[in-house]
Structure 1
Amino acid sequence: MTFGETETAPLLSAPRVRRATNRRLTLGLVVFSAVVLVAVVVAGLAVGGAANQTDFAAKMLAPSLAHPFGTDWMGRDMFLRTLAGLSTSVLVGLGAAVASSLIALVLAAGAALGPRWMDAAVSWLIDLMMGIPHIVLLILISYALGKGFWGVTIGVALTHWPSLTRVLRAEILQCRASGFVAAARQLGASRLAIAWRHMVPFVLPQFLVGLVLLFPHAILHEAAITFLGFGLPPEMPAIGVILSEAMGYLSAGAWWLAVFPGVALVLTVMLFDGVGSGLRRLLDPQSAQE
């Protein structure tokens, strides 16, 4: 080995080490965020009954060691209610995001692989949906379906697919025009085989990232319409319900009724955003090095 080879070898290996370190850190953040979110959901489901227990002898207590988030006007522990509310919001967001992403995938595949009239129809529908404010359309759908858990979930699912549909349509068109798909056609592969072996792996990363990034929007919009009274019922512990009820007591100095649930909602949304951004870095070789 010459002197020049011994000097350049460490320089060539340094970028590889840096890339491996970045990917490990990103993967660690994604796993940590996912574990925290699962723990919040499980804890919220476990304390669902205790979150509704009332104790009028301990009502309107400020945060303390016994009640870290204080108590409300019925003596309910706000820490337990916040956990239960986050669990409900995450479950609504999960159902809505999965349904919305599947709608986006079906419409994108139909627009990219179907006849021209289908592409024009899907494009027109996307423009129509994006021209209407999210919150207005969501309120109308939720109210028409009787509000409640399913009304909110269906409303969020039917209003959050357009952006992901555009992305998936572009990915499918790019895959269809690629050289390896053309080679597969020339080798006699069927449409089903091409779709399963080539298009699904090509579109799957964008689909997963889009699915995860739909969670924050779904959770925030669920909380927004519930806060306005068009979402989940008052007897169901949810962040929107908690914040809506707390508005009547803020003037009395009970700041903890809104601050802690609001901060918990923001942190949950940030965790979902962190998972989505991390997945994007892991699945995109270029952004993994940023």
Structure 2
Amino acid sequence: MRGNPRLGLALGALALLAALVALLIAQPSLAERAAASDFQARLLAPGGEHWFGTDVLGRDLLARTLQGLTLSLWVGAAAALLGSLIALGLAALACLGPRADVGVGLLVDSVLGLPHLILLILIAFALGGGTQAVIIAVALTHWPSLTRVLRAELLQLRQADYVRLSRRFGKSRGYIIRHHLLPALLPHCLVGGLLLFPHAILHEAALTFLGFGLSPGQPAIGVLLAESLRYLSAGYWWLGVFPGLGLLLLVLAFDRLGNALRRLLTPREAQQ
């Protein structure tokens, strides 16, 4: 009976992956539909023809929301991957010696001590905004927690019996890294990167909402939410509710997926 919730999470993860693949396949048609304006259908409430209603230019809000979620997926995936690589590189650097370990620890504590959103805004503003700036800003602010996890795991692996035996048998450092360290670290990197994903998506939307992220011409979720503020007081609630719900469901789905994967790949979690 205890396996039923995990089975449900696994099935939900499969359904999520299938939906993401469908979104990516439908991206060209979504782009055309999201950009199509119909001034005779301006600000229509949700109905049979337009399930999420239309915006001020008569564009279908469902298509724009789906395209915005697709953009968030690309940006979040790139930022999470880059952040995971930074964390892995710094964790490896910390294992080179005591001074390197102290330096990496000081860098991690310094970044964690800074106001997160302000640091994001400063980096994105300094890089000029846009998709590339958002990816770099999110990646440069989301590696400290994962670095701590990978650093602690590497320090434990270096003292493991099988690693010590490999050194005594004359195995090279490259052999130990390829056959002992990397296989043990990859599950942690995968889970850490997946858990970074929802944070990256939320911060991308926040930066775009504040005007430091993606271009206003792109149907990003942050852009849709920013545009909806002008019309919410007039009763056009669907302009902000549906994009916000879509973003919330996407973040919660990836958070559940990351936690389910962590339980499967971490022996202690899998035994509980």
Q: TM-score range by the shorter chain?
A: over 0.9
**1:97-136 correspondence runs (5 A):** 97-112=80-95, 114-136=96-118
By how many angstroms is 1:122 displaced?
1.0
- Give 5+ residue unaligned stretches, structure 2: none
Whether 2:25 is the aligned partner of 1:38: answer no
Residue equivalent to 1:4: none
Whether 2:53 is the aligned partner of 1:70: answer yes
Whether 2:124 is the aligned partner of 1:145: answer no
Q: Distance in 2 between matches of 1:76 and 1:30?
A: 31
By how many angstroms is 1:23 displaced?
6.1
What TM-score, normalized to structure 1? 0.89
Aligned residues: 272
Residue equivalent to 1:199: 181
Residue equivalent to 1:173: 155
Q: What's the % identity of the aligned pairs? A: 53
Whether 2:165 is the aligned partner of 1:183: answer yes
Q: Distance in 2 between matches of 1:69 and 1:197?
A: 52
- Secondary structure of the residue that 1:47 maps to in structure 2? helix
User: For each residue in 1:98-137, what CA deviation from the matched residue of structure 2 results, as whole angstroms up to 9, or x when unmatched?
Assistant: 001000000001102x122221111111111101111101
User: For each residue in 1:151-204, what CA deviation from the matched residue of structure 2 results, as whole angstroms up to 9, or x when unmatched?
Assistant: 111110111000000000001111111111011111111111011101011111
CA contact (8 A) 1:55 1:76 kept: yes
Match for 2:31: what amino acid?
G
CA contact (8 A) 2:9 2:257 kept: no
Q: Distance in 1 between matches of 2:168 and 2:119?
A: 47
Residue equivalent to 1:15: none
By how many angstroms is 1:45 displaced?
4.7
The structure-2 alpha-carbon separation of the partners of 1:85 and 1:22, relative to structure 1 and needing over 3 Å to count, comes to: closer
Match for 1:160: what amino acid?
H
Q: Distance in 1 between matches of 2:3 and 2:225?
A: 43
By how many angstroms is 1:268 displaced?
0.4
The structure-2 alpha-carbon separation of the partners of 1:34 and 1:288, relative to structure 1 and needing over 3 Å to count, comes to: farther
Whether 2:78 is the aligned partner of 1:95: answer yes
**1:1-290 correspondence runs (5 A):** 24-112=7-95, 114-290=96-272
- Give 5+ residue unaligned stretches, structure 1: 1-17
CA contact (8 A) 1:67 1:77 kept: yes
- Secondary structure of the residue that 2:26 maps to in structure 1? helix
Greater displacement, 131-140 / 25-34: 25-34
CA contact (8 A) 2:9 2:256 kept: no
The structure-2 alpha-carbon separation of the partners of 1:186 and 1:19, relative to structure 1 and needing over 3 Å to count, comes to: farther
Greater displacement, 39-48 / 243-252: 39-48
Alpha-carbon RMSD: 1.6
Q: Distance in 2 between matches of 1:106 and 1:221?
A: 23
The structure-2 alpha-carbon separation of the partners of 1:125 and 1:256, relative to structure 1 and needing over 3 Å to count, comes to: same
By how many angstroms is 1:28 displaced?
3.0
By how many angstroms is 1:39 displaced?
2.6
The structure-2 alpha-carbon separation of the partners of 1:191 and 1:271, relative to structure 1 and needing over 3 Å to count, comes to: same
User: For each residue in 1:12-34, what CA deviation from the matched residue of structure 2 results, as whole angstroms up to 9, or x when unmatched?
Assistant: xxxxxx68767655543332222
Q: Distance in 2 between matches of 1:200 and 1:155?
A: 27
